[in-house]
Amino acid sequence: MFIKRKYFFEYLWEGLLKISGGLTSVAILLIVIFLFSEGIGIFNNSAVEEGYSIIVGKDNDVENLSGEKIKDIFDQKIVSWKTLGTTIENHDSIMLLRLDDIASYVSENKIASDFSNLPQIIEQIMKDNPSVIGFLPSEYINKDSDYRILDLGKIKPKDFFFGKQWFPTAQPSPLFGVLPIVLGTLLVSLIAILIALPFGLAVAIYSAELASEKVAKLIRPVIELLAGIPSVVYGFFGLIVIVPLIQKLFNLDVGETALAGSIILAIMALPTIITIAQDAIMSTPRSMKEASLALGANKWQTIKKVIIPYSISGITAGVVLGIGRAIGETMAVLMVTGNAAVIPTTLLEPVRTIPATIAAELGEAPKGGAHYEALFALGCILFIFTLVINLIVEYISSKNKNKA
Amino acid sequence: MYSIEAKDVNFYYGDFLALKNISMQIEKNSVTAFIGPSGCGKSTFLRLFNRMNDLIPNIKLEGKIMVKGEDVYSKNVFVDQLRKEVGMVFQKANPFPKTIFENVAYGLRVNGEKNKKKIEQVVEQSLKGAALWEEVKDKLNRSAFALSGGQQQRLCIARALAIEPSIILMDEPASALDPISTLKIEELIFELKKKYTIVIVTHNMQQAARVSDKTAFFYLGELIEYDNTDKIFTNPQKEATQNYVTGRFG
Ligand SMILES: Nc1ncnc2c1ncn2[C@@H]1O[C@H](COP(=O)(O)OP(=O)(O)OP(=O)(O)O)[C@@H](O)[C@H]1O
Ligand SMILES: [Mg+2]
């Protein structure tokens, strides 16, 4: 009887553990699948804004207009057909035709109040003006009329991953070039690590090897405290202290820069780096330290020649995990980096990171639209970054285990 | 002048009195064996001679430890200089995760020796001194971990020899080794005696009897008896010593 009950509880526990483990795995898997299915959807969107068409005259043989070119045309940065490799007799300068422009082609009283005659009017305008390019709601476009509907195709992975412009709300052709955002993320994180590494390592070595027991006992809670501060508070601190400081120091117009983001991230990554590096340093066998000291090496020589080489993989793991934290950090970075989606060339320019972009834009992107899916695709990129980082940590610590 | 001299030494780990009023003189170019049951303070005493106990927090020393006539616990002693004079070999071979060559060269490098020729020469000499040269001369650039346990221990001895100490402390250097490796270490100690003062801690009575000139028997933090080895093993003055060396307790 007694034995049977024990079995029953064992089964129960095992079952519960299995179920909760299974549920967690399924939930994680579902999240990842959701993320990627939404993200990949971006490549199913047409390069022109939903519900609109781009049209040119029937003799206009322009081809392969990229989203960026379309944007330049409608921003009137490109004004001649020749620059696009097309010649139109006597009509080289590009004329734009949007809904608002129609009134400048025909007198307003010709347009029916319910726009019912718009298709005919558009057809007429296109016939009269061979150098027009039109961007109009598809409902006014006649499939078999006398002008040509430009087929820009779908958003191409090349334009997404290597596009240099992020204008998700641009008309007529939104631009989803993530390169500046990806580079911004990498830059801010990398510089953050370069700043955090020397400080983190110094504190770790000091508290593990040099500090007296009392001081070491004091340092630990301080570091834990640092890890527990919410990220908005860091952002606030950055905004109030670091941003103005950078602005003054470098005499800039705005202090919200990549550098400010890096500094804040460095401070936030410190606890991770310090605690893990400290553990690694303290895991150096006492026999190694004693061997070095017994040979007449002093403390510093022992740290440099024995302790750091011995714990280097643990230290690296700490640093990589620190990057992992930095790369996914949202709030603080959003507050201090200025959020300009341009490819960064110096540290003293505003940049924008992936998490900041998602946080700032997801609210205003219509669900299921191209912008929405582009943000999910950004999320996928971030996910892959952190996955790679975790794999690296895994690899390093497995190598570490083999050594010990 | 004695190589090592302890005068009225009391030593505390926190409140725990680990060594009780010990005085002892160790002659130059002799082998002294420390014997006694586990926990009696042999290692603690040995590690006072090169101040290895300094690493442990909350320790207190009363009395004096003199090495070559100098008080090694006086304020103006450079500990790293002392440790170059007093080398140490540990119970468990503890080579660095470096090459065989770099292990032996370590002491020279931290000493600021830059001359490559000189380093190579000392490494070879030290490996020969530790009777390891013939076995490793073709693989000096291999990891020290590729050596057998006995070879690793002789490498650690070579490493200690390379800094040219005058005293070598050995804390159970052969306790983890097979009989043949142990024999090699013992032969080595016999050789080294010509140039160095050696203090060896051992649990192996035959080993103490074979290699040492003098033997010290410790019990519960006290030095019970210290005399010529043959006297300790054949005609000890104290009953506790008699019981211990004949294996009746311990
Ligand atoms: N770091 C330490 N802190 C506190 N007590 C210690 C420490 N090291 C040793 N002791 C205590 O001091 C006493 C002597 O220890 P020691 O290591 O010198 O013994 P030993 O004779 O070398 O023993 P063994 O033969 O087992 O190596 C023991 O009671 C031990 O518990
Ligand atoms: Mg011991």
Q: What is the ipTM score, two decimals?
A: 0.91
Residue A331 has pLDDT above 90, yes or no: no
Q: Which two tokens stand for residue A229?
A: 């501060």
CATH of A52-153 given 3.40.190.10, 3.40.50.2000, 3.40.50.920, 3.40.50.1360: 3.40.190.10
Share of chain B above pLDDT 90, in %: 77
Q: At what angle do helices A308-328 and A258-282 cross, to 10 degrees?
A: 140
Quote the pLDDT of residue A120: 86
Q: What integer pLDDT is reported at residue A29 of this predicted model? A: 94
In the predicted structure, residue B41 carries a pLDDT above the cut 90: yes
d(CA A337, CA A192): 13
Question: DSSP letters along B24-69, please?
Answer: EEE-TT-EEEEE-STTSSHHHHHTTTTTGGGGSSSEEEEEEEEETT
Does B250 fall in a domain? no
CB of B13 shorter than 6 A to ligand 1: yes
Say which residue, A320 or B5, is predicted with more confidence.
Answer: B5
What does the pLDDT read at residue A6?
A: 64
pLDDT for position A2: 58
Is B121 a member of any domain?
yes
Residue B119 lies inside a defined structural domain of this protein: yes
Q: Considering CB atoms only, which of B55, B94, B163 is closest to A296?
A: B163
In a domain, B189, yes or no: yes
Contact between residue B89 and residue B170 where contact means Cβ atoms under 8 Å apart? yes
pLDDT tens track for A207-235: 998 888 889 889 888 988 888 898 899 99
- How many angstroms separate the CA of residue A295 from the nearest CA in chain B? 5
Find the mean pLDDT for residues A236-248: 94
B107 lines ligand 1 (CB under 6 A): no
Quote the pLDDT of residue B62. Answer: 95
Closest chain B residue to A299, measured at CA: B80
Nearest CB among B88, B92, B111 relative to A294 is that of B88
What's the whole-number mean pLDDT along residues A376-400?
Answer: 87
In a domain, residue B29? The reply is yes
> What proportion of chain A, given as a percentage, has pLDDT over 70?
97
pLDDT number for residue A404: 44
Q: What is the pLDDT of residue B226?
A: 95
Q: Spell out the alpha helix ranges (H) of chain B.
A: 42-46, 79-85, 100-110, 116-129, 133-136, 149-162, 179-192, 205-211, 229-234, 239-245
Alpha-carbon span A243 to A259, nearest angstrom: 9
Q: Which among A231, A234, A238 has a CA at the least distance from the CA of A258?
A: A238
pLDDT above 70 for A293: yes
Q: Which of A203, A334, A216 is nearest to A269 (CA)?
A: A203
> Which CATH number do you get for residue B154?
3.40.50.300
CATH (residue range A179-403): 1.10.3720.10
Distance from CA of A307 to the nearest CA of B (A): 10
The per-residue pLDDT for B200 is 95
> What is the per-residue pLDDT for A381?
94
Name the pLDDT band for B236 (thresholds 50, 70, 90).
Answer: very high
In chain B, which residues have their Cβ closer than 8 Å to the Cβ of A297?
A: 80, 106-107, 110
- CA atoms of A319 and A195, how far apart (whole Å): 11
Note whether B80 contacts A287, CB cutoff 8 Å. Answer: no
Q: What is the pLDDT of residue B210?
A: 92
Is B145 in CB contact (< 8 Å) with chain A?
no
Ligand 1, from B40, B45, B54, B59: best to mutate by most atoms within 8 Å of Cβ?
B40
Q: Would you call B14 helix, strand, or coil by DSSP?
A: coil
Q: What residue numbers bound the domain in which B93 lies?
A: 4-245
CB-based contact, B50 to chain A, within 8 Å: yes
- Indicate if the pLDDT at residue B8 is higher than 60: yes
Task: Look at residue A48 and tell me whether its pLDDT is greater than 90.
Answer: no
Question: According to the model, what pLDDT value does residue B227 have?
Answer: 94
What is the per-residue pLDDT across B178-195, written as a single tens digit (0 to 9) for each? 888 888 889 889 888 889
Q: Is B18 in the pocket of ligand 1 (CB under 6 A)?
A: yes
Q: How far is B242 from chain A (nearest CA, A)?
A: 35
Instruction: Confirm whether B23 is domain-assigned.
Output: yes
User: Number of structural domains, chain B?
Assistant: 1
Chain A residues contacting B via beta carbons under 8 Å: 213, 285-298, 301, 305-306, 309-310, 403
The whole-number average pLDDT for the span B215-229 is 95
Domain ranges for chain A, please list them.
2-44, 52-153, 179-403
Query: Mean pLDDT over residues A100-119, rounded?
Result: 81
* Cβ contact, residue pair A294, B50, below 8 Å: yes
Is residue A175's pLDDT more than 60?
Answer: yes
